[in-house]
Structure 1
Amino acid sequence: MLRKALRIAGLCLVMLCDWSALPMAAHAAPACHPRSFADYPAGSGNAPHPVAAQPLLTSKKAQQFRTAIRREFSEPANFAGHYRVAIWGCGTDCRDFAILDKETGSVYDMPGESEVVGIMGNNDERIDFRADSKLFIVSGCFNESESCLNKPEKLFYEWTGKTLQLIGQCPLEVEEVD
């Protein structure tokens, strides 16, 4: 089944994302517009900003992964200006994350979404971001979703300052694995 899904994903890429041409249930063809980090610049304030003493561990997820979050919070900002993306492993080819506000100590996650599971035959980073950009890219599947495993995607989000807003998606390029 995975082999068939990988062939279908590859066929879709050859057909420039025209999912409607595939023999599947009728779905609207997704728009495939990859995003660039440069198109989503983070604000560049030159004034010194306050730095929180520690992260605010108010959510269940933040409390559960407090050690990883505290360790990452002590490191410099690496996302969208003054934020730090904390990433930790959750098994083989699996990542989980939270976004830490270095100024306020707030800890943000994606409600209902946790692990990002990779797809065999895909060499992209599971989670990709830049210090000078609000673009956040997820390559793989959240929560081992069956629908995503059958049709893996690259998801593009824009950071709003409190949440990640989905702004686009494309089929994930995968090579067939024997």
Structure 2
Amino acid sequence: MKNLVQLNMSCSRISRFGEEFKSMENLKFLNLSGCKFLAQSPNLSGSPNLEFLNLSYCKSLKKVHRSVGSLKKLVDLNLERCSNLVRLPGEVNWRSLRSINLDYCTRLESFPEIEGEMKYMTSMSLSNTAIKALPSSIGYLINLELLVLSGCRNLREFILRHL
């Protein structure tokens, strides 16, 4: 598993992970979309080169492991329609992230604090989430081109500050 670069387990019946990702340092692509029994994303601290993470349509997913917030080479994060998702990592340092999709994460009430400039992020979609406010650190998204907040009925505060 040490040399594995791509892992596609979409629509599998996996419900949890143990220590599988501790030594997957070459992993760049992980597709767990449609894993309807998965309640928490795996600990990816042993996969520092991960670029693409797809957890979309994981209906039981409630929590994204804090290690995901430290993936500095992550380019694309898809959590679309994870309808039970309530928690992302508290702080994120996604230096390479270009796009994040949280559409229809209907129980997600907050977006994490952003640590440091995210100069590659161009697209962030949060439509139909339960987000109440965006953190002021959203100003670190200096090249954001597309921000989708449609259907965010709980959004009460939207303050953009240039940092």
TM-score when scaled to structure 2? 0.24
With CA pairs under 8 Å and 6+ residues apart, which has the higher RCO, 1 or 2?
Answer: 1
Structure with greater strand share of residues: 1
TM-score when scaled to structure 1? 0.23
Structure with greater helix share of residues: 1
